[in-house]
Structure 1
Amino acid sequence: MKFKYEVECERNDSQAKYIVLKGLDEPCRQLVIPDLIEVPESIVNGEVSTEEVRGNDVGAAISLPVKIIGNHAFSSRKDLEEVIIPSSIHTILGFAFHNCGRLRRIQLTDSVSEYLDGSTRQCESLEEIDVTFEHENYYVVRRILEDNDRRLRFRLHLPGGEAVLVFPGFNYDFVENTMARTIQFAIEGTGYAYRECVKADNINFREYDSFFTKVSADDSVTAEMIAVSRLQFPYELAEDAKTQYRDWLYENAKKNLTRAIRSLGTKGNSISDTNSELSGLVTDQVSYYIKEKLIPEGDTSAIIAEAAELDRTELVSMLMEYQSGSEKRDNFLELDI
């Protein structure tokens, strides 16, 4: 990849040098930032600039660590969909990935100790942040959450296991108080409260789980994502919270699965890559409810009818097999009695 960069010196050691990334000169869907870049000795020694040697025979080179992603380095790109950031990066400067409209996923480590405002702001497709923890430093999780009011899903690779946490979105609502002649603001949605569970040095999982009653009343789609994620990856999940999540999924199985199936539309429609991905997600969703026996027997027929009406034969088959298994279990119970 043709990266644009600058060579900088460490503050306390002018001989120790590193790379500040400034951008990329070519189209890219998956941006894999290297931890080292081969730099011509003439640049390292300050004899020429990066522009002067680009595309020419550079001679001997030195490997320098990539430590900083510069201001606006990859902002407003229309091609980026995924970014992978190595553990050598300790600083992400302001608006580094600002306004990357197709950016959906970022993978990084907790080595980031400085993250400036706007780095992932206005990334309207951003959905998932994957963080590997080596130093138990939750700073970058906190800062990305502060930078975004949209719903985000964090996959956290922690020393004691793996956690997946979904953080709801929220809105600021500004209201004029004419009597006091002031402008006041209120926060709509549970996203802000969920974000307060994350500090620079820890995540309060118990507090995170305590907000479920509120989010399930406000946003059933996000509530389902939270419940399934916590049950599939039960990192520090208390037994009462586990019961709460399972009970809610069981009670809302018909509504949740009907909504998911309807999101697919008719099978006769042309299937784009996105629709194909969505179809796989819905199939996985139905499989999870079936595997965990979270569909009440009285609701199964209605869900099957919905899938059949939209010509989703693979879902019909799965649900009918589940229904048949439920009936067999009931017959066994009757014989035991």
Structure 2
Amino acid sequence: MRQKNNEFEIEVKGDSAIILRCFSYGESAVIPSEIDGYKVTEIAPYAFSAHMDHPPEKETGREALCGERLKEIVLPDTIEKIGRYAFYNCRNLKRLKFSTDIRDIGAGAFTGCHQIEKMDVTVVPEKRSCFRELLIEIGEEQEVMYHCPDGDAKLIFPEYFEEEVENTPARILVTKTHGSGMWYRNCIVKNELQFDQYDKRFAWAVENEREEVVIALAFCRLLYPYRLAEEAKEQYERYLKRHVEKVSEYLSEKKDMDLLTYYVEQCLDNVDNFRVLIDMAGITGEASMMSYLMEQYHQRFAVKEKKKKFEL
């Protein structure tokens, strides 16, 4: 049985609802956990694709939120299934918010969604999940906020892609995987991210990824140190200390005071490296960054330098 209101068209099965269409003049689709008393458990095939059998504009007079207009999707923790090609060619979709209670993702659900860059994930313990499969289907680099019952982590899953390479002597095609992204995705086992294995992949990321990706990965783990062992913390900080110029450039571009504060207080231990960071911040002209850096510089180094000059 189909039902419609001003925001959704649904199909009712028992006490559950399946989202068939979403109507909105905005760019974000926020799916409720319940519609007209029915628990929302599924996203129908092609629900947010512009390729629909029955254009909803003609049926309701309202514009369907689909295709290239969709930029964000927020799913409730009641969703258990995403139908095949549900977000087909939503080319501007950038953000996903969902829980790991999703147990079934149809073929090609996110085909053509190459702009997705951020995920907000709530972990439902001890339940089967398709989170790993979702990350594998979306091969682009992802920044993931990972909410566990006892704490939060912020994670980077680097990009990966596969290509078929011909093995001429054997007359077969061999799949070759590029990037460290698949190694990171394989840290998810039975709906649980193995943080110790995730942190052990860092050397592979250093070897295979761009410096800015590696820097972002390190900062995410350090600022959200959920299940971060001391040894892993040391490896991330060691990398940041050894790449002062690139980290300074990264911080100047991001203009994030939390990142800057951590780096200054935990990783900068000599005046020469501090000056590199100050010089880079000066190029960008970010007043708040420069003010903080100069204050820290005078507190930590200016007095010592004056003392040395006086002794000479």
1:201/1:319 Cα in 2 relative to 1: closer, same or farther (>3 Å)?
same
Match of 1:120 among 100, 107, 110: 110
From 205, 208, 213, give the equivalent of 2:195.
Answer: 205
Structure 1 309/113 Cα, relative in aligned 2: closer, same or farther at 3 Å?
A: closer
Q: 1:167 to 1:212 in 2, by over 3 A?
A: same
Q: How high is the TM-score relative to the length of structure 2? A: 0.83
Shift of the 208–23 alpha-carbon distance from structure 1 to 2, 3 Å rule, reads same
CA distance in 1, matches of 2:145, 2:126: 14
Which residue of structure 1 lines up, in the alignment, with residue 47 of structure 2? Answer: 73
- Judged with a 3 Å threshold, the aligned counterparts in structure 2 of structure 1 residues 253 and 296 are, in CA distance, closer, same or farther, namely farther
1:236 to 227, 244, 249: 227
Aligned to 1:146: 136
Q: Please name the residue that 1:226 is paired with.
A: 217
Structure 1 stretches of 5 or more lacking a match?
Answer: 9-15, 39-62, 264-277
Residue identity in the other structure for 1:68: E
Deviations, residues 121-168 of structure 1 (Å, cap 9, x unaligned): 332221221122233436232121121111112212112211222111
Aligned to 2:163: 173
Partner of 2:64: none
2:78 counterpart (88, 96, 102) = 88
Matched residue SS, 1:78: helix
Query: CA contact under 8 A between 1:172 and 1:188: conserved in structure 2?
Result: yes
How many Å apart are 1:84 and its aligned residue?
1.3
From 5, 10, 16, the equivalent of 1:5 is: 10
Cα offset, 1:328, TM superposition: 4.4
Shift of 1:253: 2.6
> Is the CA contact (8 Å cut-off) linking 1:91 and 1:114 kept in structure 2?
yes
Deviation at residue 301 of structure 1 after TM alignment: 2.1
Kept after mapping to 1: 8 A contact 2:281/2:289: yes
Distance in 2, matches of 1:2 and 1:194, equals 38
Distance 1:254 1:296, change over 3 A: farther
TM-score (norm 1): 0.77
| Contact 1:249/1:294 (<8 A) preserved | no
- After superposition, the C-alpha distances for 1:249-301 in whole angstroms (9 at most, x for unaligned) are 1111321222453x5xxxxxxxxxxxxxx5x44x5433332243446421222
Do 2:219 and 2:259's aligned partners in 1 also have CA atoms closer than 8 Å? no
| Alignment pair present for 1:99 and 2:99 | no
| SS in structure 2 at match of 1:139 | coil
| Distance change >3 Å, CA 298–CA 121, structure 1 → 2 | farther
| Residue of structure 2 in register with 1:18 after alignment | 16
Residue equivalent to 1:49: none
Alpha-carbon RMSD across the aligned residues, in angstroms, is 2.5
Provide the rounded CA distance (Å) in 2 between the counterparts of 1:330 and 1:64.
69
Aligned residues: 287
